[in-house]
Amino acid sequence: MALRTLAVDFNSYFASCEMQERPELRGRPVGIVPVMAETTCCIAASREAKARGVKVGTGVAEARALCPDIVMVEQRPALYIGYHHRLLAEIEACIHVTNIKSIDEVECDLTATFAPREKALAVARQIKERVARQVGACLTSSIGIAPI
Ligand SMILES: [Mg+2]
């Protein structure tokens, strides 16, 4: 079966950008909030926070109850946009990006490579390696390959 689409989705994107910028946050539960207030909710959560039940939309008070050591970080949209452009450039160096779905999600067209499975997997690995080396190891992603 021909593989036509490769989709990249960065994990816990805003939290991962903050962890890349601030090494002291790495390995810790982190919640990203729009403003520093107890009445708002998390707009992103690090993998460590997700493991403790904190999700996008979890209120700050509930997040602190679930995870007393959570670090709340106020969002920095300009930083996430800057990473978005750097990540796009690295992906584009591996395969043409055909569709930008959101700040942390893109689709690429595999048809130009006549993608057999091995070639598609090699491109996915190349993207992950390149991003880790050129942008930072905190920027992990999930990559899907599909015949549509
Ligand atoms: Mg994502």
For residue 41, what is the DSSP state? B
Rounded distance from Cα 121 to ligand 1 centre (Å): 20
Distance 105 CA to ligand 1 centre (A): 6
CB 6 within 8 A of CB 108: yes
Q: Quick one: pLDDT at residue 94?
A: 95
Q: Which structural domains are found in the chain, ordered by start?
A: 5-12+77-146 (3.30.70.270), 14-74 (3.40.1170.60)
Taking the centre of ligand 1 as the mean of its atom positions, its distance from the CA of residue 46, in whole angstroms, is 11
Q: How far apart are CA 147 and CA 115, in angstroms?
A: 10
Could you give the CA distance from residue 20 to residue 108 in angstroms, rounded to a whole number? 25
Q: Report yes or no: 37 and 60 within 8 Å, Cβ to Cβ.
A: yes
- Residue among 21, 74, 105, 129 flagged as catalytic: 105
pTM of the entire structure?
0.94
Q: What is the phi/psi pair of residue 55, to 5°?
A: -125, 170
| Tokens found for residue 62 | 């509930």
Q: Is 105 a catalytic residue?
A: yes
> What pLDDT is stored for residue 112 in this prediction?
74
The answer to whether the CB of 80 falls within 8 A of the CB of 138 is no
Residue by residue, pLDDT tens for the chain (148 residues) are: 677 899 999 999 999 999 999 999 999 999 999 999 999 999 999 999 999 999 999 999 999 999 999 999 999 999 999 999 999 999 999 999 999 999 999 999 988 766 688 889 999 999 999 999 999 999 999 999 988 7
Tokens of 109: 């067209």
Q: Are 65 and 52 within 8 A, CB to CB?
A: no
Backbone angles phi, psi at 111, to 5 degrees: -65, -30
Distance 10 CA to ligand 1 centre (A): 4
Q: Which residue has the tokens 């942008």?
A: 135
Find the length of the chain: 148
